[in-house]
Structure formats: structure tokens, C-alpha cells
């Protein structure tokens, strides 16, 4: 069965500092990996995705993530955080099977940005 | 309207009421999903419809009844709910192709409170 672990429930970072959110996954085949962001009262917005190819993927809002197969990780990074990045971030792993498109989400990491 | 819309955005209902949540996608996608997001729990997939046929039902209680009349509309009919069903209900859609995984686009959600 596929699973996703986000070890950090909360992270507080100063505006302008760098940010790294951890994600570890368990999946039996080559995974499809996603990072979504959710602002308060909103749905989920896709930041970036990894299907194949270059293991360093660029996303929107200045985010990037690196797929490391040997570590079963897909960590999200941003070099310089803005106050608008305060939100909850979800890592997800997916695969295409008999049940179609099935995503499994991690528990999320809530990011607080200090002025 | 663009993207994925959900109505109502907020709903308060008693345990004996019957209500319905509506989702509409304007993206031409062929698959739609219902997720439940509770506090302190990972996002849970409830139902998947692909080409208007239900392909996944993750052991959801029968008090939740989905309906997908066409590829653009998805409903979640609610009856005799319990207070623990209070949550944010998210709808998503994707374009599925053979042997690949489509990106899921989410609506803003319906915040449901069961009294």
C-alpha cells in the first residue's frame, strides 16, 4: 500500500529565510509525486509534480523539490520565504492502477512566517 | 466560472436533515473525486468517478451517497449524518489517460458542520 509521511507538523520560519519541508513516501513502483499548498479556507493548489526525468523539479511561487529514490524522499524547498507563503503544505504520492488515479496524501505541514 | 466550483461553501445541518453538496468542473476533465478533510487527519479519498462510473469507494458509510450525472457534475448526498462527519469536503477533477496519471485540480471545499 502507498503511504506518505510528513514528519514536521509545524514549521516557523522568518521572512526571507530558506524553507525545506520533508516528505517520505512508500510506493511499490515508480511514484508520481506532488506538492500541494492550501491557504486558510481554500482548496488545494498544485505547486509542482514529479513524474519522471530530471529529479529536481521547479514549481510555481519559487518552489522546487528534489526526488531522491534512494531515500524515498521528495523534499520541498524555497530559498527565500515571503509572508504569503504561510499556509499548509501537503505531499502526495499517486499511481495509476485498476482503480484509476489514486492519490495518497501526507498529514500536512503548517508553515508560519515571522516578520 | 473557471476551474472547479463547489456549493455551498458552508453548510450547517442537523443529524436528521438531508442535504446535498454540489461540485462542477469547467476543465473538460473525465474524472472527479470527493475527499474529506478533518482536523488533525490526512486528506481521505471518499469516492472516485471516472467517465461517470464509480471506480473507487473507500468504505465510506452509506449515509454518504455520491452521484455523477455527467462528466462535469458531481454531487454528494448527505442524510442522517453524525457530528464526527463535520469536516471540509473537497471535490477534485482530473483528465485521465491510459497508463498515466492526471493532475488533480481542487475546488475550494464545503465546510460542513453537523449539529
**Are A42 and B108 within 8 A, CB to CB?**
yes
**What is the band of A98 on the pLDDT scale with cuts at 50, 70, 90?**
low
Cell readout for A100 is: 484509476
Nearest-Cα residue of chain A relative to residue B111 = A41
What are the mean pLDDT values of chain B's consecutive 10-residue runs (115 residues total)? 90 92 95 91 88 79 94 95 95 81 88 94
pLDDT at A17 over 80: yes
**Are B106 and A107 within 8 A, CB to CB?**
no
Distances (CA, A) of A73 to A4, A24, A68, A76, A106: 10, 4, 5, 10, 12
Q: What is the Cα–Cα distance from B115 to B113, expressed in whole angstroms?
A: 6
In a mutagenesis test of the B interface, which of A30, A37, A100 is the best target, namely the one with the most B β-carbons within 10 Å? A100
pLDDT at A99 over 60: no
Overall size of chain A counted in residues: 115
Mean pLDDT calculated for residue range A47-55: 90
SS (H, E, C) chain A: CCEEECCCCEEEEECCCCEEECCEEECCCCCEEEEEEECCCCCEEEEEEECCCCCEEECHHHCEEEEEHHHCEEEEEECCCCHHHCEEEEEEEEEEECCEEEEEECCCEEEEEEC
Amino acid at each position: 500500500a502507498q503511504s506518505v509521511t510528513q514528519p514536521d507538523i509545524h514549521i516557523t520560519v522568518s521572512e526571507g529565510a530558506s524553507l525545506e519541508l520533508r516528505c517520505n513516501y512508500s510506493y511499490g513502483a515508480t511514484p508520481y509525486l506532488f506538492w500541494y499548498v492550501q491557504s486558510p479556507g481554500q482548496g488545494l493548489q498544485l505547486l509542482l509534480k514529479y513524474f519522471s526525468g530530471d529529479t529536481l523539479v521547479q514549481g510555481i511561487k519559487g518552489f522546487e523539490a528534489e526526488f531522491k529514490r534512494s531515500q524515498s524522499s521528495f523534499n520541498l524547498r524555497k530559498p527565500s520565504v515571503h509572508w504569503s507563503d504561510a499556509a499548509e503544505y501537503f505531499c502526495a504520492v499517486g499511481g495509476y492502477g485498476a482503480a484509476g488515479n489514486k492519490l495518497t496524501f501526507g498529514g500536512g505541514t503548517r508553515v508560519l512566517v515571522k516578520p | 466560472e473557471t476551474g472547479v466550483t463547489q456549493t455551498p461553501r458552508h453548510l450547517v445541518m442537523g443529524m436528521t436533515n438531508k442535504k446535498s453538496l454540489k461540485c462542477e468542473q469547467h476543465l473538460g476533465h473525465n474524472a472527479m473525486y470527493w475527499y474529506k478533510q478533518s482536523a488533525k487527519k490526512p486528506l481521505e479519498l471518499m469516492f472516485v468517478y471516472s467517465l461517470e462510473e464509480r471506480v473507487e469507494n473507500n468504505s465510506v458509510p452509506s449515509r454518504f451517497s455520491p452521484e455523477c450525472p455527467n462528466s462535469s457534475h458531481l454531487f454528494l448526498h448527505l442524510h442522517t449524518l453524525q457530528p464526527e462527519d463535520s469536516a471540509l469536503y473537497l471535490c477534485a477533477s482530473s483528465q485521465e489517460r491510459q497508463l498515466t496519471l492526471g493532475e488533480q485540480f481542487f475546488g475550494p471545499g464545503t465546510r460542513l458542520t453537523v449539529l
